[in-house]
Amino acid sequence: MIEVDDKRNCTGCTACKSICPRDAITMSSDDEGFLYPQLNHELCINCGLCDRVCPLPQRDKQDNACSSLESYVAHYNNNDDIWYESSSGGVFTAITDFILESDGIVYGAAYNKEWEVEHCSSSNKTDAIKFRGSKYVQSKLNDTFREIKNILLSGQLVLFSGTPCQVAGLKSYLKKDYLNLMTVDLLCHCVPSPRLFKDYINYIQKKYKKRISKINMKDKTLGWNSFQTPRIYFEDGTSIFNVEDTKLWETIFYSHIAVRPSCYSCRFSNLDRVGDITIGDYWGVENFHPDYYVPNGASIVLINSRKGQEAFKCFSKYLRYEITDPIKGLPSSLVYAVSPHLKRSQFWLDYEVMSFTQICKKYFGLGLLNDIKRRLPALKSLLKIIIRK
């Protein structure tokens, strides 16, 4: 029976919950907001399926060798609007368009009405726009795996996109490679706490006294590479961008202080990819493919299976691209897992007794004084230039 003794060994993929024939497993939030399997011992029949389906022990037996058959870089969508609205090059929309034009169904991560991130499905291009763009928080999978299996058995084409651990969980649950299933794993840095994200949303809506209507985690107004920052839209038509409050979640994310424990020992931070296709930002593209360095962003794409190869032949018509060496300019998420933050334990102790604003002032530099300190070096440089003139 499933027991999580070490949270570093559970990604919350829901494979164990999904495979249980007695529905004896539910996914429950811990104090940090991450979902873990909880077993109802009265319903459990000790069949052992939950233990055997876990993808991490299987993953630990592999050698992490490069699994990619082909690598492409500097993909960007031929449609400039899609390109601009996407996190990097717009490759994901090219893939979803191909699947939907083939009468398939797409599963991806989207915000719900409460601004929680959860996996859901879409069968048309307009609705599938909700999957576009980075979310920077772990999604709820709910009953996605069971839904996908039923659709696969009906013969319909399915695309599932998610973090590598989610893709690994789905494949382990299904037990076989369905010809009508296409999987896309995302280059994942880490997944921060859903509890923290919920409190961030509440902080923004309370401070501005408005309800949020849209979140773009990677707005490209000031460019893609150096100045990317979130933009938050409100129901009254206004938005905030490039201010302390919009930069706050980015600061939280890259601090690594509130990410899922399994991210610190991620089994998927290597070139042995689990999806048919891997996509992500191509940071450093200007160093290896300068002709493809463009303001609106570029993507790296790894083709990891014959299915992925055949799909690429179809959706590449939407893209501009060239072949690259995957070893060049590897993103950090293909090399190593994020390091544990030294103050992580104290952070969560403080979180139980301090307000969100107090936490952000203490750990993330929120506030006018801290903002001045951050800007001081730039102000000094500007002052020197003025004096010289």
- Domain at 43, CATH number: 3.30.70.20
For the chain, counts of helices (H) and of strands (E): 15, 13
The pLDDT value recorded for residue 74 is 54
Claim to verify: residue 36 and residue 182 sit in the same structural domain:
no
46 and 102 together in one domain: no
Contact yes or no for 198/271 (Cβ under 8 A): no
Say if 375 falls within a structural domain.
Answer: no
Same domain, 53 and 179: no
**pTM for the whole structure:** 0.91
Residue 192 burial (CB < 10 Å; 0-12/13-18/19+)?
buried
| Among candidate residues 60, 75, 102, the one where a domain is terminated | 60
The predicted structure's pLDDT at residue 82: 78
- From 25, 43, 60, give the residue that closes a domain: 60
> Is residue 150 within a helix (H) or strand (E), and if so which, with residue range?
helix 144-154
Task: Indicate whether 370 belongs to any domain.
Answer: no
Report, as an integer, the average pLDDT of 285-307: 81
User: What one-letter code names the amino acid at 293?
Assistant: Y
In sequence order, what are the beta bridge partners of 181? 158
In a domain, 384, yes or no: no
User: pLDDT class for 1, splitting at 50, 70, 90?
Assistant: confident
**pLDDT one-digit tens code per residue, 20-59:** 999 999 999 999 999 999 999 999 999 999 999 999 998 9
Query: How much is the pLDDT for 224?
Result: 74
Structure-block tokens of residue 380: 């000094």
215: left (phi over 0), alpha (psi -120 to 50) or beta: beta
Q: What's residue 266's pLDDT?
A: 96
Quote the domain boundaries for residue 323. Answer: 66-353
Distance (Å, rounded) from C-alpha 147 to C-alpha 122? 13
28 — phi, psi (to 5°)? -120, 145
Give the integer Cα–Cα distance in Å for 2 and 54: 9
Report if residue 242 sits inside a domain: yes
In DSSP notation, 12-65 reads: ---HHHHH-TT--EEEEE-TTS-EEEEE-TTT-----HHHHH-HHHHHHTS---
Phi and psi based region of residue 201 (left: phi greater than 0; alpha: psi -120 to 50; beta: remaining): alpha
Residue 14: alpha-carbon gap to chain centroid: 17
Q: Which burial class, exposed, middle or buried, applies to 3 when counting CB atoms under 10 A from its CB (0-12, 13-18, 19+)?
A: exposed
Note whether residue 148 is domain-resident: yes
Distant-in-sequence, close-in-space partners of 64: CB < 8 Å, separation ≥ 6 = 270, 271, 272
Q: Within 10 A of 362 (CB to CB), how many other CB atoms are there?
A: 14
Q: Which residues of 287-314 are buried (b: 16+ CB within 10 A; e: fewer)?
A: eebeebbbebbbbbbbbbbebbeebbee
Amino acid 226: pLDDT = 60
Q: Is residue 385 one of the residues assigned to a domain?
A: no
pLDDT above 70: percentage of residues in the chain: 89
The number of distinct structural domains making up the chain is 2
Q: What pLDDT does 380 receive?
A: 64
What's the burial of 379, exposed, middle or buried (CB within 10 Å: 0-12/13-18/19+)?
A: exposed
Taken as a whole, the chain contains a residue count of 389
Q: Are residues 266 and 329 in the same domain?
A: yes
Please check the confidence at residue 198 and state whether its pLDDT lies above 70.
yes
Pairwise CA distance, residues 260 & 196, whole Å: 12
What confidence tens digit (pLDDT) does each residue in 310-324 have? 999 999 988 888 777
Q: Do residue 161 and residue 24 come from a single domain?
A: no
Evaluate whether residue 305 is within a structural domain: yes
Strand 25-29 with 35-39, pairing: antiparallel
Domain co-membership, 269 together with 145:
yes
pLDDT of 367 higher than 90: no
